[in-house]
Amino acid sequence: MEGRSITTSAAESPEIQYHPPNPPNQIFILSGQSNMAGRGGVVKDHHHNRWVWDKIVPSECAPDSSILRLRADLRWEEAREPLHADIDTGKVCGVGPGMAFANAVRKRSDSDSDVIGLVPCAVGGTAIKEWERGSRLYETMVKRAEESRRYGGEIKAMLWYQGESDVSDIHDAESYGRNMTRLVKNLRHDLNLPSLPIIQQVAITSGGGYIDKVREAQLGLKLSNVVCVDAKGLQLKPDNLHLTTEAQVQLEHTLLFSIVTFKQSAALCRIF
């Protein structure tokens, strides 16, 4: 990416001194904020006055040897919850939508040799302006995506779940659509994937403020190969902000039904 300066930590260094035994051939970027990073099953331990994950993993989110995760140090390992534990390090992570999605893709695969690679990038509490080109979050996401296909895998789509941090300010809410459009166009350009499918999970379900304006922008995004899956009505945790574990699983069922049944995008349908 000519003309762009990137500063990375040691964990983000592109130097990988190994070759995974069975590298992924189908790769999915997981990005956005806390509901993508996963807060399902994160509860308050009142005895120790801290947040902890209850470690309950639904069968839909169970690990599988054909589903891998790109760690913070850019090494592949078998994926398991919580996917973002070493990425969204400022908070306790739990169940997100990634594993349920990967298992759904795996079950519909026509080939037993397919290996799915998940690239966690989400960070809780981030507004969309923090994902603009040149920001640490954006550049790290691009770098991780580029490294994920080092061994020949194909990036199939980006799953995006974000928006709660843009509902409190009217300017942020009104500019959401423009910012999201710019993000998609920049990412497709920088990865040289002009038709990269974007699975926008989802039009947000909570957050208060100018939520309707952000939902309108998300649902009305006018770009090709973008599908928006509405999470409105799914069960929220007591904080009225984060999806429960059960809701994260249900979200993936809604996503699959939306793409396959309504044929919203030919590129997306080919994933399944």
Catalytic center residues: 34, 239, 242
Instruction: For residue 249, report the phi and psi dihedrals to the nearest 5 degrees.
Output: -65, -45
Contact 265, 226 (CB under 8 A): yes
Q: What percent helix, strand, coil does the chain show, rounded to 5? A: 35, 15, 50
Tokens at residue 4, please?
A: 């762009």
Task: Give the DSSP letter string of 193-225.
Answer: -TT--EEEE-S-----TTHHHHHHHHHT---TT
- DSSP state, residue 120: E
Q: Which residue has the tokens 């992924």?
A: 24
Instruction: For residue 60, report the phi and psi dihedrals to the nearest 5 degrees.
Output: -65, -20
